[in-house]
Structure 1
Amino acid sequence: YHVRICDPGQAVVFLMAPNGVEVPVDYRGCIGKKFRPPEVHYEGRPYFASRVDSWCLGWSAFYLLFGTELLDNAHPTDHPEDDWRWFELCRGRHERVFE
């Protein structure tokens, strides 16, 4: 088996403060918003890169396991006619998640 790790152009360098706490990274826009945490894209504020990495890893694992995206879009107002699959899951409509 061969594993390849790639960067879709969004990698950032993040720093740790002397006390060991991660320093937030300034928001510079993003691409690939389907797999980005919605709050990062729509709030446009500094964010913790390691937490975004964790979200993206989880999104990728979900996609690899189930062959479908976790969210149809990054924010429900992008396409108000679309349901967020995640919210369908939270509402107990499990069958809608894998459509």
Structure 2
Amino acid sequence: LFPIGAAGSAAAPRVPAVRQRRHPPTLAMVVEALEARGEKQGSSVVAIRRYILDKYPSVDATRLKNLLKRALAAGLSRGLLVRPRDSTAIGATGRFKVS
């Protein structure tokens, strides 16, 4: 059978520690920023970024640029975010609104 250690029990497998999040997912922060600002014509990416950095200081400002790009693209594809009617902007530029 299995060898038993000196303490009289088999070695327990290591379970990785669960990391606690210091802030919500980026898409949730974007939606929160848009709802808090409540601008009729939508909020710019710069305004969304400022809101997130002010409200969540634990967010890494250097990583936020790429995280924001991905979150905005995901929000548009899922239908959570929309562009204002006359917008011709593409990518992570221009304005966004909550659908």
Same fold (TM over 0.5): no
TM-score band by shorter chain is under 0.3
Structure with larger Rg: 2
Higher helix share goes to which structure? 2
For normalisation by structure 1, the TM-score amounts to 0.25
Higher strand share goes to which structure? 2
